[in-house]
Amino acid sequence: MFKKLSLRSRIFVTMILLVLIASILIAGVTIYQYREQSNDYHQIRLERKEAQIKQSIAYTLQKTTYPITTDNLALIFRDDIYRIADVQNVNFNIYDLQGNLIKSSKPRFRNDSINSHLKKEILDHVAESSNKRYVFDDTEAGDKYQASFTYITDEKFKPIGILNIPYYEDNSFNDMELKEFLMRLAVVYLFMLVSAIVFAYFISKYITRSLQTISDKLSTTDINRTNEKIFIENPGHEIGKLIDSYNAMIDELELSAVKLARSEREQAWREMARQVAHEIKNPLTPMRLSVQSFERKFNPEDPEITIKVKEYSNTLIQQIDTMSSIASAFSNFAEMPAQQNEDINVINIVKLAVDIFNEKYIHFTAKEEEITAELDRTQLIRVITNLVKNAIQAVPDVVDPRILVSVSSMEDKVQITVADNGIGIQDDVKAKIFEPKFTTKTSGMGLGLGMVKNIVETYGGSIDFTSQPKKGTVFTVRFPKKSKIHK
């Protein structure tokens, strides 16, 4: 939860917690100190009372006429025990060495088993202690008291009895003082807490103000526009270094933006040049093939020579017109080339594009004689030419190469397939096959299939393929019969 707080909130909460923890610790230490002082006071007072009573007992033993023995202690202190207790304001008991009660200063002492006879462990503690003294804490009727046990000796320091002083601790005065002190301390702590909240608010705001400014600037930093630098009066050392780093980054960003813009312009011109070069090469290939085919098949004696020359001329004129439109489009920075839609017989145009190629393993088939669609004749030829060229490049090492181009009708669409039994397309490159500039060949710029896909989709059509490595590839193009050009 704490980690999710903002830096300002963390500073604020931390300062408040420090004040609260300090207050609790001081209060705890104060209470502990009062308790320790009270214990020390009672311990010293017990020792002092014990010394005074032992001194009075020694005085009584000095002036008595009875023999100083254990058996005579009851007679010796028959009356003096009350006098000593009254003078010292402390009740005490006298036991013999076996722990049996001999005399008590209490007028109405309860003769129960605890007070009339000492436990063996008490006798052992007194005998084994170095100063022949034993003290233990206990409670009676909810009151805490200490009981001290020490030997009573004769003039030769021989133990003749055991002195017991039950000392009841009266902490009412100390508790009252402690309560008053804690009340005063609570008022001071409350004032400190309020002051700490106000102080923490302004300190956290002051500390994070510069950071917030830097954060706002960073969030609006954009390489595509001019970014403002940060200027803060009297920033701290660390904040100053951070601001200097940000301003230096802005300078570098502006230089990078200039370089990037220059690079993008150069890249755009290079792409334009590549595209124009590719577009110009497309009609040159069928023109070259047409010339070669015409040269090989030319026969002046052929009765249909006039028709064939006309078809040959039309083919060259179409490709020349395509090159002209490309040059015009490049000159005017327009889309190239512009579509000239007309109702055409797709079967005838596809067959015309296939006939350009001289390879004998290229075959054309159509189940119908005429399929009419509203398309651009030149664009359709470009699609077929590119697909057949790709198929030719896929079968150079095949023993029995075969390329089949077919046209069929599918309700409101016309379907064209170009199938080959070539090397196929590997699975790891299928997703990139229509990307511009992607190619698996060692030559070329990889614009052909990307251009084909663009033409097909411009007419609202679709192109897809299926391929198996070393078995072949089938490209399928579907055009709507009614023009659906996507601008």
Tell me the pLDDT tens digit for each residue of 40-67: 888 888 888 889 998 999 888 888 888 9
pLDDT at 214: 67
Q: Are strands 341-345 and 362-366 parallel, antiparallel or unpaired?
A: unpaired
> According to the model, what pLDDT value does residue 486 have?
56
Domains of the chain, first to last: 2-175 (3.30.450.20), 341-487 (3.30.565.10)
Give yes or no for a contact between 478 and 414, defined as CB atoms under 8 angstroms apart: yes
Ranges under pLDDT 70 in the chain: 1-8, 107-115, 139-143, 171, 207-212, 214-240, 258, 261-262, 264-266, 268-269, 271-273, 275-276, 279, 325-339, 436-448, 484-487
pLDDT, residue 476, reads 95
449-452: long-range contacts, CB 8 A cutoff, minimum separation 24: 449/386, 449/390, 451/278, 451/279, 451/382, 451/386, 452/382, 452/383, 452/386, 452/387, 452/477
Q: How far is CA 397 from CA 362, 377, 394, 400, 413, in A?
A: 15, 33, 8, 9, 35
Round to whole Å and give the CA distance between 46 and 49: 5
Which residues, 6 or more positions from 429, have their beta carbon under 8 angstroms from its beta carbon? 438, 440
What is the per-residue pLDDT for 477?
A: 95
β-pairing verdict for 159-168 and 341-345: unpaired
Helix or strand or coil: residue 477?
Answer: strand
The three-class DSSP label of residue 462 is strand
Please tell me the predicted confidence (pLDDT) of residue 418.
95
Residues pairing with 373 in the sheet: 344
According to the model, what pLDDT value does residue 332 have?
A: 45
Asked if 274 contacts 445 with a C-beta cutoff of 8 angstroms, the reply is: yes
Which pTM was predicted?
0.38
Tens digit of pLDDT for each residue in 324-347?
766 665 554 444 455 678 889 999
Distance CA 53, CA 87 (A): 9
Query: What are the Cα distances from residue 28, in Å, to 25, 35, 182, 357?
Result: 5, 11, 10, 100
